[in-house]
Amino acid sequence: MSRRSWGGKSGAARTARPSGGPRPVAFRMRLGVVFGALLLCGAGLVARAVQLQLVQHRFLAGEGAARFTRVAPIIAHRGTITDRDGEPLAVSTPVDAVWVNPQELSANVEQLPRLARAIHMEPQELVRRVSTSMDRDFLYLVRGLQPADARKVRELQIGGVYLAREYRRYYPAAEVTGHLLGFTDVDDTGQEGIELSSDNWLAGEDGSKRVIQDSDGNKVEDVESIRAVRPGHDLRLSIDLRIQYLAYRELKAAIRDNRARSGSVVVVDVRTGEVLAMVDQPAFNPNDRSQLTPAAYRNRAATDLFEPGSSIKPFFVAAGLASGRFSTHSIIDTGPGYIQVGTAMIHDEHNLGAISLATVLAKSSNVGMAHLALALEPHQVWTTLNGLGFGQVTASGFPGESAGQLSNYTHWRDVLLTSMSRGYGLSVTPLQLAQAYATIGAYGLRRPVSLLRVDGPVAGERVLDGRVCKDLLGLLESVITMPGATGARAAITGYRVAGKTGTAWKAENGGYSQNRYMSIFGGVAPLTNPRLAAVVVIDEPSAGKYYGGDVAAPVFSAVLGGALRLIGVPPDDAHPGAAAPPNAQVALR
């Protein structure tokens, strides 16, 4: 067979295979299957899209929002507390809280030692807290973190660890104003003092907004405002920080020098009833939370009761003058130096004989006061004391303020009446006593005690005749100026002063201690036109001196003298002399 014929046969064979044979048919079949599959997939995708976009849209949108949108709180900034001249006393500073999602953090346990160092926590403690909270999705690790430490936490970029902005209260004057201002808790809510009584005014209202955040919890975009934030209101107190510092310094020195247990000073503006200073010792620093114990932060000036001793005597004399039975020229016979009232024997250290009403106060005669009290109707005395504010809380609004104790006159007998005339059988607070002296200085107008700044005149309530108060102030000047008077150390160079000492035994085991005392001085200045009233109370001086004239009077002189100069009150003593010598040692006064 020739090559040509072979090759021709082969070519014929190739050309002889029909075009519609088995191979093209199989191809078309396979192509149809693929095309059908594509159609089915497309239909499935369309169906799935319909399901996702229409049927499950609301559910899926909610799930997406839950992963990438959050409702973030906007913390309200607490209002600032200032003194009467705008000096800041309490401010809120930005801090951060560190919180974690323990379930998320469990994937980054190797980062816990680094986190512990950043937040100043022992690694073992951090591991324990996280591991025991795996069923929770929120756990605070630390509150009030300073910005520098918060930045370190942020730079770690640990999954499941988050920061939240907060505010922490800071008190620039620290312990100088601690008892007055009180403090807030970790949530910046008022707990004591002015912070508590004015919490609604200071706190404001938190707001909220919707934000978009990334997978690490970082805010990407603000979406909308849900509730506007309302910042807290500022609060301006009646306190003059300069006088507050002065009172704090002098009281602290007196407590130290007399080795006393505690003490209080209150200074009141006679014209308005504003409290210009209120300090206590021992003090506490509200910036240091380790000091926040009830025994430390109790405001003794408003809450602690004490029997006022002879510092109450001027108000019994006021009742005597108001009754018309006594005048500035009245003479009381105190001889032979004692008087028997029921089962009680009342005595003076010396027989003073027949003495004037001024001498009764200047020498603090217990016998003279007993004669005066017995000459008055109990109702007259009660009306005077009640009108001056004893037995009731002041209008200060300070939380926990005590009302004191003044029983109704229908229960009084001669023994109780004479005991009260020398300061036993009734109890007061330093703030109450200061208000009473301020009322005398205001010539019988009792003005509400205010811890907030008052702008404009304050009318007050008439509780004593102005002439009675002027006469009483003249008598009380003798307590400072009369030779041998008990209040000589309360003198203020350049100013005329009216006041009264007090020394009271402290109650003990149903009776009275013979070696534990309260030392007191209350008064007003300048006498020509009274501007300030002050009360000093020192509890249990134990350095050898305990009379009010020796312990409390010098503090009164230093505080009120400095305060008068600070606020620019001109001197009224045309012949200012040197400070008077210490008072003589006489009966409790």
Which burial class, exposed, middle or buried, applies to 20 when counting CB atoms under 10 A from its CB (0-12, 13-18, 19+)? exposed
Instruction: Give the span between the Cα atoms of 450 and 234, in whole angstroms.
Output: 17
Pairing of strands 88-100, 81-82: antiparallel
Three-state secondary structure of 56-103:
CHHHHHHHHHHHHEEEEEECCCCCCEECCCCCEEEEEEEEEEEEECHH
Inter-residue contact 476 to 500 (CB < 8 Å) = yes
Q: Distance (Å, rounded) from C-alpha 268 to C-alpha 530?
A: 11
Q: Which two tokens stand for residue 542?
A: 């134990």
Strand-pair category, 445-446 with 69-74: unpaired
Q: For 155-214, give the DSSP string.
A: HH--TTEEEEEEEEEE-TTGGGSHHHH-EE-TTS-EEEHHHHHTHHHHH-B-EEEEEEE-
Are 99 and 254 in contact by the 8 Å Cβ rule? The answer is: no
* Closest to 372 (Cα-Cα) out of 439, 300, 420, 410: 420
Give, as one character, the DSSP assignment of residue 54: I
Enzyme catalytic residues: 310
Does an H or E element contain 30, and which? helix 22-50
> How far apart (Å, rounded) are the C-alpha atoms in residues 90 and 236?
11
Cis peptide before 308 (omega within 30 of 0): no
Torsion from C-alpha of 371, 376, 381, 384, nearest 10 degrees: -110
Determine phi and psi for 578, rounding to 5 degrees: -70, 165
What string of DSSP letters covers 273-340? -BEEEEEEES---TT-GGG--HHHH--HHHH--B--GGGGHHHHHHHHHHHTS--TT-EEE-TTSEEE
Tell me the CA distances in angstroms from 111 to 105, 130, 153, 218, 371, one per residue in order: 9, 12, 11, 19, 83
Question: Distance between CA 431 and CA 198 in Å, rounded?
Answer: 19
Cα–Cα dist 445/456, whole Å: 16
Ramachandran quadrant class, 423 (left: phi over 0; alpha: psi -120 to 50; beta: rest): left
Nearest CA to 556 out of 476, 477, 491 is that of 491
